[in-house]
């Protein structure tokens, strides 16, 4: 199993905010922002914009579970077969490329598969694949190898993977609003998307508990820009 994270970011350009945070806290700890929440809660676009505003790399942890699922589907394995899934992951090189602007790219054996990761098929199987402890360990190990400061989104970033992060957020929204945001991005219609999201919420429930020290933001009535503004304001307040 080979996997690497590539950051196209120059550390010297990290914002004054980070420097302030470092000075205020009198330490050299990295500046890690976690954004967790259920599917289509807006965390990916919010995290991306927050990362851009702070000039930090953005990491989408769900893409690693999606890449594992794509491999399982391509090789026609049973998503439930944990041992077979782990053996398969061991045979492929999966790279996550994170940048300060734009979305992440995923390369499998050198080939960019990013455009294949958000299909109804991957959506329908990713919860089963990501439930396996072996798969979670495969992802956790890679995420914990990330050095420096970054903004990361997922389900359990603030609880399990980066419990020490100082800036934690948890985004929610009603299933209906989340489904509406997905229409157009998926082949299915609104009703099917709503049902699929609710099913995924149930299957992902174990990973979905918010960190007790995360700021919870209900995004049902908010635009992505408003959520980004709230997140940045909270970070500034916490730093000052």
Q: Give the angle 127-172-145 at the CA atoms, nearest 5°.
A: 55
B/e letters for 6-42, b = 16+ CB within 10 Å, e = fewer, are: ebebeeeebeebbeebbeeeeeeebbbbbbbbbbbbb
Q: Residue from 42, 57, 79, 154 that binds ligand DC (CB under 6 A)?
A: 154
| Binding span for ligand DC by CB under 6 A among 57-65, 99-107, 179-187, 209-217 | 57-65
Residue 34 vs 149, nearer CB to ligand DC? 34
The answer to whether 66 contacts ligand DC (rule: CB under 6 A) is yes
Q: x-or-dash pattern for ligand DC, window 9-38, by CB under 6 A?
A: ------------------------------
Residue 66 vs 167, nearer CB to ligand DC? 66
- DSSP lists the bridge partners of residue 186 as 183
Residue 144 vs 233, nearer CB to ligand DC? 144
The answer to whether 61 contacts ligand DC (rule: CB under 6 A) is yes
Pairing of β 105-108 and β 32-36: unpaired
The answer to whether 172 contacts ligand DC (rule: CB under 6 A) is no
The answer to whether 181 contacts ligand DC (rule: CB under 6 A) is no
Give the DSSP H or E segment for 85. Answer: helix 82-90
Rounded (10°) angle between helices 43-54 and 224-239: 50
**Contact status, residue 23 vs residue 17, Cβ threshold 8 Å:** no
Name the phi and psi angles at 2, rounded to 5: -120, 140
Q: Residue from 59, 156, 194, 197 that binds ligand DC (CB under 6 A)?
A: 156
Residue 18 vs 217, nearer CB to ligand DC? 217
Give strand ranges (E) for the chain: 2-7, 32-36, 58-60, 93-98, 105-108, 111-112, 150-154, 167-172, 215-218
The answer to whether 39 contacts ligand DC (rule: CB under 6 A) is yes
The answer to whether 155 contacts ligand DC (rule: CB under 6 A) is yes
The answer to whether 79 contacts ligand DC (rule: CB under 6 A) is no
CA distance 178 to 75: 31
Residue 99 vs 155, nearer CB to ligand DC? 155
**Contact status, residue 94 vs residue 64, Cβ threshold 8 Å:** yes
Residue 17 vs 231, nearer CB to ligand DC? 231
Q: How far is the CB of 84 from ligand DC (least distance, A)?
A: 19
Query: Which of 2, 9, 22 minimizes the C-alpha distance to 150?
Result: 9
Q: Which of residues 100-139 bind ligand DC (CB under 6 A)?
A: 126-127, 130
* Contact positions vs ligand DC (CB under 6 A): 39, 61-62, 65-66, 126-127, 130, 154-157, 200, 204, 207
């Amino acid at each position: 199993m080979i996997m690497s994270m590539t950051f196209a970011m120059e550390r010297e350009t990290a914002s004054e905010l980070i420097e302030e945070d470092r000075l205020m806290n009198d330490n050299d700890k990295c500046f890690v922002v976690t954004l967790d929440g259920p599917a289509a809660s807006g965390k990916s676009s919010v995290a991306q914009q927050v990362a851009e505003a702070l000039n930090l790399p953005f990491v989408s942890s769900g893409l690693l579970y999606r890449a594992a699922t794509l491999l399982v589907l391509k090789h026609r394995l049973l998503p439930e077969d944990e041992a077979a899934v782990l053996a398969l992951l061991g045979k492929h090189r999966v790279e996550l490329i994170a940048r300060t602007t734009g979305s992440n790219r995923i390369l499998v054996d050198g080939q960019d598969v990013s455009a294949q990761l958000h299909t109804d098929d991957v959506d329908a199987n990713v919860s089963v694949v990501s439930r396996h402890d072996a798969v979670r360990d495969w992802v956790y190990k890679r995420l914990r190898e990330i050095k420096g400061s970054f903004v990361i989104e997922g389900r359990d970033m603030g609880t399990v993977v980066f419990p020490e992060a100082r800036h934690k957020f948890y985004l929610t929204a009603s299933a209906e609003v989340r489904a509406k945001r997905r229409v157009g991005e998926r082949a299915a219609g609104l009703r099917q998307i709503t049902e699929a999201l609710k099913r995924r919420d149930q299957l992902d429930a174990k990973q979905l508990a918010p960190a007790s020290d995360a700021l919870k933001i209900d995004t049902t009535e908010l635009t992505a820009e408003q959520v980004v503004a709230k997140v940045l304001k909270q970070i500034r307040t916490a730093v000052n």
